[in-house]
Amino acid sequence: MTQRIIYPNDEGGVSIVIPAPECGLTIEQIAAKDVPAGKPFKIVDVADIPSDRTFRNAWEYVE
């Protein structure tokens, strides 16, 4: 899949859900299942996620 799911984590950063290509679920189904209950989330394109992870723990979720 070329999409990712992002949601804010409890530490003030952002968690990124990477779907398994062969799991047979849609991105929406994965979001419903693997994003913690009550958390807001966004479905974004993989190109929107920085590949430079030098400051990964400083990334933030923006509404």
Partner 1 sequence: MSKISLTGNASGTGTLTIAAPNTNTDRTLNLPDAAGTLFVSGQALSATTGSFSGDVTLGSSVLATPSGSAPSYTCRAWVNFNGTGTVAIRASGNVSSITDLGTGLYQANFSTAMPDANYSVVWSTDYWFWMPNASTNTTTSSRITTVNTAAASVDVALVCMSVFR
Which of 8, 17, 41, 61 binds partner 1 (CB under 8 A)? It is: 17
Cα 33 to Cα 46: distance, rounded to the nearest angstrom: 20
Please report whether residue 43 would count as binding partner 1 according to CB under 8 A: no
CB 19 to partner 1: min, Å: 5
The C-alpha atoms of residue 13 and residue 33 are separated, in whole angstroms, by 20
Please, which residues have CB within 8 angstroms of residue 42's CB and are 6 or more apart in sequence? 5, 6, 7
Interface residues with partner 1 (CB under 8 A) are 5, 9, 11, 13, 15-25, 30, 33-34, 46, 49, 51, 53, 56-57
